[in-house]
Structure formats: structure tokens, C-alpha cells
Amino acid sequence: MILNLLLFLSLLFLEITNQKWELMIISNMKTNDIILDENLMKFSSILANKTSNGFVVLERNDKLPYAVLFKKKKKVDHFFNFVIFCATLGLWSIAWIYITQVSSKAKKILIAIDEDGNPFEEKCYMG
């Protein structure tokens, strides 16, 4: 009789602890889903911001998440810049060189979210 009671109590204790573990696992899964949804929302908002600035999505993966974006080369109006160069007696040459060499080039960037949930952006090599 006592042995049956001990067996019943031990089975009851095991059942209660298993339920606690199952509840902990389910709650951890729910928090992980919430964190993943928040990271995906961050990622989507960064992509929306970049596409509004003129970038085009070349490749996107929502499981990892990462995206490769491309921005076309700007055409420089050299005649207009020459007129400004003459009007400012040559001071515009610094801005003209910058516009021609740096800001008008095509750009390719990688946007991703690391394992900690922090977004980052890297320039891709354009060979």
C-alpha cells in the first residue's frame, strides 16, 4: 500500500515537472518567435528606407535575413558644373571632382541582421 502511494506520488511529481518543462519550452518558443518577428520588421524597415533612396533589391532572403541592393550610376551634367566652376572662380572644382569621382558611381550594398539581432550594412566589391 505504501509502495503504491510512493509510486503514485513519484509519477505525479514527474508529470508536474514535465508539464512545467513543456510550458517553459512553449514560452521560450513564443518569445523566440516574437524576437524573430521584431528582427524581420527591423530588416523590412531598413530595406524600405534604402529602396526609397533609389536602391533596387537584387537578392533577398528572409530566413537568414539578408538582402543585396544596387544603386545605378548617376549621370553628371558637366556643362552645368563648368558654369558653376566659372561663376565661383574655380572654387566649385572640389565639389565637381567629388561629384564625378565619388557620389556618381554605382553602389552595391549588403544589408543583414546578425545573430544578436543588430542590423548592419556593408559595401560590396564592384569589380
C-alpha cell belonging to residue 59:
537578392
Q: What is the chain's mean pLDDT, rounded?
A: 81
Average pLDDT over residues 68-77: 93
pLDDT for position 23:
46
Categorize the per-residue pLDDT at 126 as very low, low, confident or very high, splitting at 50, 70 and 90: confident
Categorize the per-residue pLDDT at 10 as very low, low, confident or very high, splitting at 50, 70 and 90: low
Whether residue 104 is predicted with pLDDT greater than 90 in this model: the reply is no
The neighbour count for residue 107, using CB atoms within 10 Å, is 15
How many residues does this entry show for the chain?
Answer: 127
**CB distance 71 to 97 below 8 Å:** no
| DSSP character at residue 11 | H
**Number of folded domains that form the chain:** 1
Give the range of the structural domain holding residue 14, as residue numbers without chain letter.
2-123
Q: What is the pLDDT of residues 35-45, one digit of tens each?
A: 677 888 888 89
